[in-house]
Amino acid sequence: MSAETAASTLTRRPVPAARGGIAQSVHDSLVVAQRNLIRMIRIPEVVVFGLVQPIMFVVLFSYVFGGSIAVGGNTDPTTYRQFLMAGIFAQTVTFATAGAGAGIADDMHKGLIDRFRSLPMARGAVLTGRTLADLVQTALTLVVLAVVAVIVGWRVHHGVPEALAAFALLLLLGYAFSWIGALIGLSVRTPEAATSGGLIWLFPLTFISNAFVPADNMPTWLRHIAEWNPFSATVQAARQLFGNLPEGYPVPAAWPMQHPVWASLLWSVLIIVVFRSLAVRKYRSATA
């Protein structure tokens, strides 16, 4: 084939249509998410170890503290298990933040982010794909954890739609917090620092809340913090939708506790908007 014929053939070959900005970003984000999911499948011990901690919390809190913590004036261990599980679910989705930050820090440390930067892809797709992959892993963890919870006596007392809505709010909170983890991962130099930085603020956030004990047992100033904690709003919303609020349990007068579903949605959306913007800006400056 002559050079003229080859050039003519290439000229006649159809050129793929260029995607728009949003379509390009969605496509690139899904490709990056697929890459991270394949990586998780090839390293199953990461998923397995991620399941160990929440299962330990379920067993320890249910059987060690179950008979000593009063909920609505009731110290029955079964009542406490119903009260507890929404808090364990919420803690599990938020603690995935540390893994998200460590993964992004690891990619930065190995130079993978620089390779992504050399490709014609949307800048925010690297972070969005990573957080979507973490969301899938968190959802799988919640499924396993729910099975363990049923085994120890937890039950859903409202309908299936309400239960699915509760899990959706939990996953939305986990996705929102993964953007905080992404920002931390971009701000440190090593995966170890990202793991430490991702956990150090999560412990006070989850324990100064209504997750494990009723907030009305706390000092007044600490109770107000717990009642306006976005973590507490999601826990309260999940309990309400699951039907796990014990009879006689005093609902605080704070607005997030009176309207926990709306409060959970508003908090999660606000966190996503703020920290996604900060993370994408940090990503651009870090790879500039």
What pLDDT does residue 277 have?
Answer: 92
Is the pLDDT score of 169 beyond 90? yes
pLDDT by residue (tens digit) across 97-108? Answer: 877 788 888 877
What pLDDT does residue 222 have?
Answer: 92
Is the pLDDT score of 125 beyond 70? yes
Is the pLDDT score of 173 beyond 90? yes
- Whole-number percent of the chain with pLDDT over 90: 31
Average pLDDT estimate for 123-137:
85
What pLDDT does residue 240 have?
Answer: 93
Is the pLDDT score of 18 beyond 60? no
pLDDT by residue (tens digit) across 256-275? Answer: 999 999 999 999 999 999 99
Predicted model pTM? 0.85
pLDDT by residue (tens digit) across 2-15? Answer: 434 444 443 444 43
Contact 283, 123 (CB under 8 A): yes
Distance CA 251, CA 124 (A): 41
What pLDDT does residue 287 have?
Answer: 53
pLDDT by residue (tens digit) across 74-121? Answer: 667 778 888 889 999 999 899 888 777 888 888 777 777 767 767 777
pLDDT by residue (tens digit) across 47-75? Answer: 777 778 778 878 887 777 766 676 766 66
What pLDDT does residue 3 have?
Answer: 39
